[in-house]
Structure 1
Amino acid sequence: MNSEDKKLITSAKKAAIEVLLHNAKGTIANLPRTAGWGYPEPYTRDLLISVLGIAISGNKELMLSMENVLRTLASNQSERGQIPSIVHDKNNLGSSDTTPLFLMAVGIFRPLLDDSHFLEEAVKKALLWMDYQCPTNYFLIAQQPTSDWRDEQWVLGFGLFVNTLTYSGLKFLKKETQANNLSDAIGQFTSASDTSHSGPHEGLAISDQPYYALWSYKIYSSNRFDLLGNSLAILSGLSTPEKNKAMVKWIEQECKSMAQRKVLIPHLTPNFFPYIQPGDLDWLPRYTDFNKPGDYHNGGIWPFISGFYIAALVAAKEFELAEEKLLALTKLIQKGRTTDLKFSFNEWYKAQNGEPMGQDWQTWSASNYLYAATCVQLRRTPFFDTIREEHLRQSH
Structure 2
Amino acid sequence: MNQLAYNKALDLLHQVATPNGFLASAENTTNYKRVWARDGVICGLAALASGDEQLIATFRNTLETLAKHQHPIGTIPSNVLISDEKTEVSYGGLAGRVDAVTWFVVGVCQYAFYKADPSFVKQYQNQIEKCLALLEAWEFNNKHLLYTPLSGNWADEYITDGYVLYDQLLRVWALKSYNYFEKSDTISTKIKNIIQQIEVNFMPNSIGEKYHERAYNEVRFQDFMPCSFSPSGYKINYDAFANSLALLLNIGTEEYQNRMLRYSYELSEQTTLGLLPAFWPTIFETDEHWNLLKNNCKYEFRNHPYEFHNGGSWPMVNGFFGLALYSKNEREKAKEILAKINAVNAQFEFSFYENFNTKTAEPNGVAFCAWSAAATILVHQSLTTNFKFLI
Distance 1:318 1:113, change over 3 A: closer
Unaligned runs of 5+ in 2: 82-87, 180-186
Corresponding residue of 1:393: none
Q: 1:348 aligns with which of 344, 349, 355?
A: 355
Query: Alpha-carbon deviations, 1:87-111, whole Å to 9, x = none?
Result: 3544534111100111111111112
Contact 1:48 1:105 in 2 (8 A): yes
Corresponding residue of 1:375: 382
Q: 1:308 aligns with which of 308, 320, 328?
A: 320
Query: Do structure 1's residue 36 and structure 2's residue 26 form an aligned pair?
Result: yes
Corresponding residue of 1:392: none
Q: 1:124 aligns with which of 121, 129, 135?
A: 129
Q: 2:159 aligns with which of 154, 157, 172?
A: 154
Corresponding residue of 2:249: 236
Question: Shift of residue 266 of structure 1?
Answer: 4.5
Contact 2:278 2:311 in 1 (8 A): yes
Q: Secondary structure at the match of 2:364?
A: coil
Question: Shift of residue 381 of structure 1?
Answer: 5.6
Question: Shift of residue 371 of structure 1?
Answer: 0.4
Question: Shift of residue 31 of structure 1?
Answer: 3.6
Question: Shift of residue 51 of structure 1?
Answer: 2.2
Corresponding residue of 2:68: 75
Distance 1:381 1:280, change over 3 A: farther
Identity, % of aligned pairs? 25
User: What is the alpha-carbon distance in structure 2 between the residues aligned to residue 350 and residue 200 of structure 1?
Assistant: 37
Q: Secondary structure at the match of 2:355?
A: coil
Question: Shift of residue 300 of structure 1?
Answer: 0.7
User: What is the alpha-carbon distance in structure 1 between the residues aligned to residue 158 and residue 171 of structure 2?
Assistant: 20
Task: Kindly provide the amino acid, as one letter, of the partner of residue 143 in structure 2.
Answer: Y
User: What is the alpha-carbon distance in structure 2 between the residues aligned to residue 197 and residue 328 of structure 1?
Assistant: 39
Task: Kindly provide the amino acid, as one letter, of the partner of residue 50 in structure 2.
Answer: S
Q: Secondary structure at the match of 1:223?
A: strand
Corresponding residue of 2:282: 275
Corresponding residue of 1:201: 211
**What are the residue-to-residue correspondences of 1:14-33 with 2, within 5 Å?**
14-25=7-18, 30-33=20-23
User: What is the alpha-carbon distance in structure 2 between the residues aligned to residue 108 and residue 31 of structure 1?
Assistant: 16
Task: Kindly provide the amino acid, as one letter, of the partner of residue 141 in structure 1.
Answer: L
Q: Secondary structure at the match of 1:216?
A: strand
Query: Do structure 1's residue 364 and structure 2's residue 371 form an aligned pair?
Result: yes
Corresponding residue of 1:58: 51
Contact 2:21 2:63 in 1 (8 A): no
Query: Alpha-carbon deviations, 1:271-320, whole Å to 9, x = none?
Result: 11011111211112347932111001001111110100011111122222
Contact 1:31 1:69 in 2 (8 A): yes
Distance 1:225 1:43, change over 3 A: same
Question: Shift of residue 243 of structure 1?
Answer: 2.1
User: What is the alpha-carbon distance in structure 2 between the residues aligned to residue 207 and residue 286 of structure 1?
Assistant: 27
Q: 2:226 aligns with which of 213, 217, 237?
A: 213
Query: Do structure 1's residue 183 and structure 2's residue 188 form an aligned pair?
Result: no
**What are the residue-to-residue correspondences of 1:289-328 with 2, within 5 Å?**
289-328=301-340
Contact 2:109 2:178 in 1 (8 A): yes
User: What is the alpha-carbon distance in structure 1 between the residues aligned to residue 233 and residue 106 of structure 2?
Assistant: 29
Query: Alpha-carbon deviations, 1:175-203, whole Å to 9, x = none?
Result: 42221111111111359x66x98424259
Structure showing the higher strand proportion among its residues: 2
With normalisation by structure 1, the TM-score equals 0.85
Task: Kindly provide the amino acid, as one letter, of the partner of residue 80 in structure 2.
Answer: V
Q: Secondary structure at the match of 1:173?
A: helix
Aligned residues: 361
User: What is the alpha-carbon distance in structure 2 between the residues aligned to residue 48 and residue 226 of structure 1?
Assistant: 20
Corresponding residue of 2:183: none
Distance 1:135 1:282, change over 3 A: same
User: What is the alpha-carbon distance in structure 2 between the residues aligned to residue 253 and residue 21 of structure 1?
Assistant: 35
Corresponding residue of 1:107: 109
User: What is the alpha-carbon distance in structure 1 between the residues aligned to residue 383 and residue 276 of structure 2?
Assistant: 17
Distance 1:199 1:149, change over 3 A: same
Query: Alpha-carbon deviations, 1:118-165, whole Å to 9, x = none?
Result: 411111111111111102211101111011111211211011111111
Contact 1:78 1:90 in 2 (8 A): no
Unaligned runs of 5+ in 1: 1-5, 388-396
Query: Do structure 1's residue 47 and structure 2's residue 53 form an aligned pair?
Result: no
The range that moved more, 198-207 or 37-46, is 198-207
Contact 1:190 1:221 in 2 (8 A): no
User: What is the alpha-carbon distance in structure 1 between the residues aligned to residue 74 and residue 44 of structure 2?
Assistant: 21
User: What is the alpha-carbon distance in structure 2 between the residues aligned to residue 183 and residue 197 of structure 1?
Assistant: 13
Q: Secondary structure at the match of 2:211?
A: coil
User: What is the alpha-carbon distance in structure 2 between the residues aligned to residue 47 and residue 91 of structure 1?
Assistant: 15
Q: Secondary structure at the match of 2:35?
A: coil
Task: Kindly provide the amino acid, as one letter, of the partner of residue 290 in structure 1.
Answer: R
User: What is the alpha-carbon distance in structure 1 between the residues aligned to residue 212 and residue 6 of structure 2?
Assistant: 42
Query: Alpha-carbon deviations, 1:212-239, whole Å to 9, x = none?
Result: 1100124611111000011011112224
